[in-house]
Structure formats: C-alpha cells, structure tokens
Amino acid sequence: MTQLRPFKQVDVFTSTPFNGNPLAVIMDADGLSDEQMQTIARWTNLSETTFVLPATEPAADYRVRIFTPDMELPFAGHPTLGTAHALLESGISLNQPQQIVQQCGVGLVKIRIADDGALAFASPEAVLTPFSDAPISSALNSDKLEEQLPVMVADMGIRWLLVPMKSAEAVLEIKPDAVEFARLIKKSNVNGVMPFGPLKGVADGYEVRGLLIEQGSLTEDPVTGSANACLARYFQARGVELDYLVHQGTAIQRAGRVTVTYASDGVWIGGQTVTVLDGAIRL
C-alpha cells in the first residue's frame, strides 16, 4: 500500500537557500525498517538523510536516526540542526521552552534556540588522539601544514582527522590526491579529514574543509557540524576557549557559516537553517 510521509529538504548553516549543506528529513519514520531507511538515504543521495521517530528516553523530545547513502551514523552535526529546524517549523511540542533534546546514537543531545531562530547543539565530548603520518602532505597535495600545531584524530561517534594549515588560503589551495587520500583515510581510520587555517582579516575566524570518501569517491562536504564540533574540542583541549566563526564550503561555491561558542554549560555549535522543499515522500 502506498504511503505518504511528511518530508522536508532543508539547507543548514546558512540563512540563504543553496549556500549551506542540504538535508532530507523524513518527519514520520515510525514503522520503517532499517532497509527502507537505507534505501531512501541512498536515493536522496545527500550526505545525510534523517528519520524522525518517537523518543524512547523520557527527557527527549524525539529520536532521530541518521543515514548516509552508505551507512547509519550515531551522530552528525548538520542533520541534528536541520532535523530540529524542520520539527520546530512543523510545530513540535517541546518538553522545555527554547530547548530541544534529541535522542540519537550517541545519547541525548541538547539544542538551543536563539531569539533570531538560529540553532546550536551542545557538542558531545571527543576523544583526541595525536596522529603522525608522512603522507598527509602528499594526500592533501600541500606543503603548507602548520607544524606548530598537532594533527589529531577526534572521535565523537563520527571520526575526523584535524589537520592545521598555515592559512585560510592554504586550506583553499588543497587539491587532494585521490589514491594517497584514500590511504590516509584508511590508515587513520576516520570518516573524513578537516584541514583548517586562520582567516585573514577576520578576527577569531577559520576557513575549514570537510574532505571524505563517499560511495568510493573523493568528495567534499559543504558544511560539517560534527567536524566543527571536533575542532572546537581540539582548541579546548589546548586551553583555548575563544568564541569563533567558521567559513566552510568556499572551495565548492557555498557560503556556510558556523558559530562556535564556549559557555559554562558546554561548547555550542550553531548556525541558521532554511527550508527549501516542503511536502511528502511517497513510500
């Protein structure tokens, strides 16, 4: 029997459509099998598709499952904010005003609602492990690594290799070697690589990129919440807790913007989200 389920496609980490990271949200996934969810995610062919389910934890407002075209993820940043935006727009009833609690594979994640509609999630803790591998430069095709800062693997349920670069320009000049990059991903056992460098003329600002392999091919994520959360934990572990702004997506003609805020109640990764498509998906 054909079913219609509420569906939205939203653009995350931007206030202007088509400049951020798109996300498909199946607003009511109750009763869908794992296989159906994976099939839908493969069909949407976006970096992630989320499926909203009733919460099983009393403190949570809803439960979400996050799928790439290849696999399920326990947590990801832009799907967290994009799903929250879609549900708020649809009039979800919250347990507490101005705060959403999402249940996902890493547990409960808090999402803060700002007066201007921006959302921010509380970064989960990250396990940081130093990583040293000679092919990093060859994998990125760059000799402009910032050697005064360590390369780290950050594990937040999803794993990112954080690579400091000398400047934002050095980040944007990166043209990865596909073979060496695949080798680097395998050796570091990460989901993706995030090079980062300071923005010229922007106080407390960084240019970052999210490079990864999807469906066997090297690709670039437009804007990456989880990697930015990992980077925020990286700075914190080094004793630096200064709020900052991230530019991401520049190399692929996007204009993603991510805010990082250090507060007494956590590290918050935030940005705007806009809805692009609103309707139903036929199952």
| Statement to judge: residues 22 and 115 lie in one domain | yes
Does the residue 12 lie in any domain? yes
Total tally of structural domains belonging to the chain: 2
| Statement to judge: residues 112 and 159 lie in one domain | no
Checking if the pLDDT of 1 tops 80, the result is no
Express as a percent the part of the chain with pLDDT over 70: 100
Does the residue 264 lie in any domain? no
| Statement to judge: residues 68 and 105 lie in one domain | yes
pLDDT of residue 270: 97
* Confidence label for 201 from pLDDT (cuts 50, 70 and 90): confident
Checking if the pLDDT of 203 tops 90, the result is no
Does the residue 176 lie in any domain? yes
Lowest mean pLDDT among 17-21, 27-31, 94-98, 179-183: 94-98
| Statement to judge: residues 139 and 116 lie in one domain | no
Does the residue 262 lie in any domain? no
Q: Give the tens place of pLDDT for each residue, 67-106.
A: 999 999 999 999 999 999 999 999 999 999 889 999 999 9
| Statement to judge: residues 176 and 226 lie in one domain | yes
| Statement to judge: residues 77 and 176 lie in one domain | no
Does the residue 260 lie in any domain? no
Average pLDDT across the chain, whole number? 95
Segments forming the whole domain that contains residue 113: 4-122+270-282
Q: Give the tens place of pLDDT for each residue, 144-188.
A: 999 999 999 999 988 999 999 999 999 999 999 999 999 999 999
pLDDT of residue 216: 85
Does the residue 263 lie in any domain? no
Which residues are marked as active site?
48
> What's 275's domain CATH number?
3.10.310.10
Does the residue 102 lie in any domain? yes
| Statement to judge: residues 175 and 97 lie in one domain | no
| Statement to judge: residues 116 and 135 lie in one domain | no
DSSP states of the chain? ---EEEEEEEEES-SSTTSSEEEEEES--TT--HHHHHHHHHHH-SS-EEEEE--SSTT-SEEEEEE-SS-EES--HHHHHHHHHHHHHTTPPPSBTTEEEEEETTEEEEEEE-TTS-EEEEPPP-EEEE---TTHHHHHT-S-B-TTS--EEEESSSEEEEEEBS-HHHHHT----HHHHHHHHHHHT-SEEEEEEEPTTSTTEEEE-EEEEETTEEEEES--HHHHHHHHHHHHHTT----EEEEE-GGGT--EEEEEEEETTEEEEEE-EEEEEEEEEE-
pLDDT of residue 134: 77
